[in-house]
A and B are shown apart, each in its own frame.
Chain A
Amino acid sequence: MLAVLGVAVAAAMLLDMVMLATGMRESFRELLLSQGFDIRLAPKGTLPFDTDATIPGVSAITSVLRTNPDIREISPVLGGSIHIPVGALDVSAAVLGIDPTVQGDYEFLSGQDVTTPDAIVANDYLLQKLGARFGDTLDVAAGYDPQTRTYSGQRKLVLTGKVRFIYGATEQPSAAVRRETLEAMGGGARRDRASLFMVRVRKGANPDSVRNWIATEIPNVSAISIATAIAQVDQRLSYFRQLAFILGAVSLFVGFLLVTTLVTVSVNERAGEIAVMRAIGVSRAHVVQQIVVEGLATTFIGALLGLGLGLLTARYLNSILSAFPGLPVAIDFFLFQPRAVWSALGLLIVSGIAAGIYPAWRAASLPIAESLRREAIA
């Protein structure tokens, strides 16, 4: 029983490490694919919203993009921050200026979307901070000087709906308005600018070909397809993956050693029994088979328990890690994928078979007469 529990702990750790090694990457990929946009355009040399830089000439870029028949939808997004006075307090929030007909940044939950220039929608966290209700008029400013306590680019906006931002960070108060509204609030500095373009290609078109075309036609932007975005994330997460790989390999090796040791001890304790089996005519092959099956059974039962334990611990660890400030809510560190479970189970079964080989060889090589004599003396 203790042996099975030991294997279960190693199996749980292995599963968690397999889930961790691929989880963030897959989670990020699912996040990018969730809204159906295939290509992102960010200021040259940056990733989307990596910096405060913006892309000038939204209208011109949109016109160029529309000349490509493979491009179906274009969604320019302008990012920034807003300040809303609530009594004596200043509540700040992240804001996105979008076109509600093509946006892919939030899920609409209740109320009304930003159908008019004076509408604003907010996430639950901002709504709680403001203590506001749908229909309330808010004094929203694009800038705030804390020294003089003065607001700039102020405008009255009506709170119309509640949304959930897909790429928003945990516990980040956020809102969205129409892009032209945010441009107007920012004065001339933001006119005809965007932080990001999201581009949806026609069904059947090759996103990488379109990405290459954009890179040639609009050289002042970084065109990032989902594949290149994932490659860049992969590069940033490489230390994470290496750590997960090393810890996973260590847990697999610990499980292997544990099973080998326990089955070897079991073989040593049952040397007399094995010698008698051989004496009554049981072949070496059957002894080997029996011991390997024993190791495999210990591994398999431990693995099944461990996979359950691994899923529970992964869920718990994910809840802790996902609460890190600045991470998108939808990003998971440990992503459950049947492939991860099968991979872990496959590795454990192979290690279980390998773990049984040495004790099986020992059992099959026991000298019968010598083992019986030792047993008799014992």
Chain B
Amino acid sequence: MIPDVAPIVSLREARRDYALGAERVHALQGVSLDVERGDYVAIVGPSGCGKSTLLNLIGVIDQPTSGTVTIARKRVDAMSDREATSFRLHNIGFVFQRFYLMPILSALENVALPMAEAKVPAEERKARAAELLAYVGLSSRQRHRPSELSGGEQQRVAIARALANHPALLLADEPTGELDARTGTEIISLFRRLNSDGTTIVVVTHDEDLANAARHKVHMLDGRIVDA
């Protein structure tokens, strides 16, 4: 079997403009970027430089005004909503600054949620969710609701949820932003372990420790990559 050597993420001259009242905001101004399989990339830069916009394009939750975005050899920049939803479900895992777990579901049920959406059989998704919670060190907290978990534990549940459907790519937007330093360090270690186990990670962060843990850093300023 020939290994897939094409970049898992490839952006070419991606631009993203927003209308802000009467003004036009140029959030991304012709960004080109490749992320290799198995890589761990941290996108850094000052607030408003376009980091999250870039992550949204890579995560197929937004589309570029112009340019191309290819993820796992598939052009995603002009997908319909239905195609993009299905693509995200099967190829991309998201971790956000706020954990956004479903408050009425247990940790296990939260992790199983994307698998239910992907119509994975109930027994299989229960086993996989338990396995993922064990991976993030929360075997004993399966039945707990989010309100019964600490911030760090909730973020680990969110990471387990992001991994549920074996995504090719894990995207994280300020994943340590709402955590204290010690809990943040635990999440950084978990990301490192995930990457060494083969998960491709792209993370947007202001956290220097998290950025330093990545294999590569991409610096952005005013909607452009200034140093990769």
Report which A residues bind B (CB closer than 8 A).
Answer: 272-273, 276-284, 286, 368-369, 372-373, 375-376
Of B52, B59, B82, B90, the contact of A279 (CB 8 Å cutoff): B59
CA distance A281 to B98 in the complex (A): 18
Contact check, A282 vs B117: say whether CB atoms are below 8 A apart. yes
Given contacts A280-B113, A281-B85, A376-B52, 10 further A-B contacts (CB under 8 A): A273-B100, A276-B94, A280-B94, A280-B117, A280-B162, A282-B89, A368-B56, A372-B61, A372-B96, A376-B174
Closest 9 CB pairs of A and B: A281-B89, A369-B62, A276-B100, A368-B61, A369-B56, A281-B88, A279-B94, A369-B61, A279-B61
Q: Complex: how many Å from CA A369 to CA B16?
A: 12
Q: Which residues of B contact A (CB under 8 A)?
A: 52-53, 56, 59, 61-62, 81-82, 85-86, 88-90, 92-94, 96-98, 100, 102, 113-114, 117-118, 161-162, 165, 173-174
Task: Say how far B25's CB is from chain A's closest CB, in angstroms.
Answer: 11
> Taking the nearest CB of chain B, how far is it from the CB of A237, in angstroms?
48
Given A280-B161, A282-B117, A272–B88 Cβ distance below 8 Å? no
Q: Determine the residue in chain A with the shortest Cβ distance to B96.
A: A276
- Cα separation A281 to B56 with both chains bound (whole Å): 14
CB-CB < 8 A to A369: which residues of B? Answer: 53, 56, 61-62
Nearest A residue to B86 by beta-carbon distance?
Answer: A281
Taking CB atoms, residues of chain B closer than 8 Å to A376 are 52, 97, 173-174
In the complex, are the beta carbons of B96 and A281 less than 8 A apart?
A: no
A48 to B118, CA, bound (A): 72
- Can you list 26 A-B contacts with CB-CB less than 8 angstroms, sorted by A residue number? A276-B94, A276-B100, A277-B100, A279-B61, A279-B94, A280-B88, A280-B93, A280-B117, A281-B85, A281-B86, A281-B88, A281-B89, A281-B92, A281-B165, A282-B89, A282-B113, A283-B82, A283-B85, A283-B86, A368-B56, A368-B61, A369-B53, A372-B173, A373-B52, A376-B97, A376-B173
Residues of chain B contacted by A368 (CB below 8 angstroms): 56, 61-62
**B94 CB contacts on chain A under 8 angstroms:** 276, 279-280
**B117–A283 contact, CB under 8 A?**
yes
**Cα–Cα, bound, A284→B86 (Å):** 11
Given A283-B117, A369-B61, A376-B97, decide whether A278 and B52 contact each other with a Cβ distance below 8 A: no
B residues in contact with A278, CB < 8 Å: 61, 85
Q: Which of B86, B100, B117, B173 has the most CB of A within 10 A?
A: B100
Residues in B whose Cβ lies below 8 Å from that of A282: 85, 89, 113-114, 117
Assuming the contacts A369-B61, A376-B52, asked whether A281 and B90 have C-beta atoms less than 8 A apart, the reply is yes
Assembly CA distance A111 to B88 (angstroms): 86
Q: Which of B52, B53, B118, B173 contacts A281 (CB 8 A)?
A: B118
Most chain B CB neighbours (cut-off 10 Å) among A272, A281, A282:
A281
Residue of A nearest to B97 (CB): A376
Which residue of chain A is the closest to B88 with respect to CB atoms?
A281
Residue in A closest to B90 when the chains form the complex, CB atoms: A281
Most buried by B among A284, A372, A376: A372
Residue from A276, A280, A375 whose CB has the most chain B CB atoms within 10 Å:
A280
* C-alpha spacing A376/B173, complex, angstroms: 10
A297 to chain B, nearest CB (A): 12
